[in-house]
Amino acid sequence: MMTMNMMMRMITSDDIGRLAFEAMLLEVSATPKPGLVDRNNPGAHDDMDFFTFMRSAASLAGSFYDFAEAGFNGGANDVPPSEIFSHIRKIGITAEKRMFSATNGINTHKGEIFSLGLLSSCAGYLAGSGHEVTAEGAMTLAGEMCAGICERDFAGVREKSLAMLTKGERVFIEYGITGIRGEAEAGYPAVRDVALPALRGYLDGGMCMNDALAMTLIHIMAQAHDTNIISRHDMNTAREVMNEACEMVRSGFTLEDIRRLDREFIAGWISPGGAGDLLAVTCFMYSISQEAGNTIPTISPPES
């Protein structure tokens, strides 16, 4: 008779790195995506396209193994999660250099390097410490690893010169929005509570992966102000986008509605890049759950 431990599928750093890389490919391949690069068009961008993302992703394929292995070794040796986070930030800097080298300085995946790298490390940590690797566990651990990141990273930003501020710092100063740092510190609630249940609902309902991801993106856009939209435009534009996505989720929508939104966003030069990054996280967490053989709870059936 099989024991519970024998029934659990063991996850390795190789597995984690492969699934994180796959998540990047799934995110950019999902079509249509309003204002974002996909297989149909470059969205609201004139400096990148689908093939730019392919080159960028290829340059990063090995980085996620490095993130996962750092987490695995930390978990195996009982290193505190906060110390792991300090180490993987150095891996992230190296990964960013690889990306910029592959894209001639274009930022294609900086947000995904942060989130997929962090969660790869968390999944590795769980595996290394002998715990079951689950999406819930990885996202909870991400919050623990990132504890205090917003306070630390935004300390003193108001004393910086305008020229020295990053886009995220400018958004924080003007609106108090912490962006992906805040999402990570909270354990990725937009993914945990909304996007994962939505994706599972669409796939369980028989939708193909491409269409399920395109639909899930709208659920993500309805959850939080997108700092990429704010930095390109303003808070009013971000609110309008969020309200439109909320209305689509509330009343139901189709792929044709998403294509219409894509045309509108391209014309308005609107790019919900933050939502795109969280879609990649959703892909990764879904794949981790599938690989490990554990289930994703459906909080509430997604409307469509």
Q: Give the other-Cβ count within 10 Å of 6's Cβ.
A: 7
The pLDDT confidence band at residue 294, using thresholds 50, 70 and 90, is low
Mean pLDDT of the 161-181 span: 85
Residues 279, 57: Cα–Cα separation, whole Å: 15
Lowest mean pLDDT among 46-60, 81-95, 159-173, 196-210: 159-173
pLDDT confidence tier of residue 303, bands split at 50, 70 and 90: very low
Average confidence (pLDDT) over 246-268: 97
Residue 278 has pLDDT above 60, yes or no: yes
Q: What is the pLDDT of residues 107-125, one digit of tens each?
A: 999 999 999 999 999 999 9
- Mean pLDDT of the 14-19 span: 96
Q: What confidence score (pLDDT) does residue 2 get?
A: 35
Nearest residue to 249 (alpha-carbon basis) of 275, 282, 201, 216? 216
- What per-residue confidence (pLDDT) applies to 4? 40
pLDDT at 301: 41
Question: What pLDDT is recorded for position 8?
Answer: 55
Using CA atoms, how far residue 114 sits from 70, 82, 91, 142, 197, in Å, is 14, 15, 10, 11, 23
pLDDT mean over 269-273: 97
3 pLDDT above the threshold of 90: no
Range of lowest pLDDT (17-21, 63-67, 121-125, 131-135) = 131-135
The amino acid occupying position 262 is D
Task: State how far the Cα of 250 lies from the Cα of 120, in Å rounded to an integer.
Answer: 33
Query: Does residue 188 contact residue 142 with C-beta atoms inside 8 Å?
Result: yes
Q: What is the pTM of this model?
A: 0.92
- The DSSP annotation for 87-156 comes to HHHHHHHHHHHHHHHHHTS--SSHHHHHHHHHHHHHHHHHHHTT----HHHHHHHHHHHTTTHHHHHTTT
Distance separating alpha carbons of residues 212 and 86, to the nearest angstrom: 35
Segment 228-251 shows an average pLDDT of 95
- Which tokens in the block code for residue 181? 């740092």
Under a CB-based contact definition with an 8 Å cutoff, are residues 30 and 210 in contact? Answer: yes
Residue 90 in this model has a pLDDT that exceeds 60: yes
pLDDT over threshold 80, residue 163: no
Q: What percent of the chain has pLDDT over 90?
A: 81
Residue 298 has pLDDT above 70, yes or no: no
Question: Are the CB atoms for 141 and 81 separated by under 8 Å?
Answer: yes
Cis amide leading into 297 (omega within 30) = no
Average pLDDT, the chain: 92
Predicted pLDDT of residue 5 = 42
Measured in whole angstroms, the distance separating CA 64 from the mean position of its chain's CA atoms is: 14
CA distance 123 to 71: 7
- Cβ(48)–Cβ(42) below 8 Å: yes
Q: What percent of the chain has pLDDT over 70?
A: 93
Question: Taking 90 as the threshold, does the pLDDT of residue 237 lie above it?
Answer: yes
pLDDT at 97: 98
Q: What is the pLDDT of residue 253?
A: 97
Q: How large is the average pLDDT for residues 256-283?
A: 98
- Residue type for position 116: L
Give the Cα separation of 99 and 112 in Å (integer): 11
pLDDT of residue 299: 41
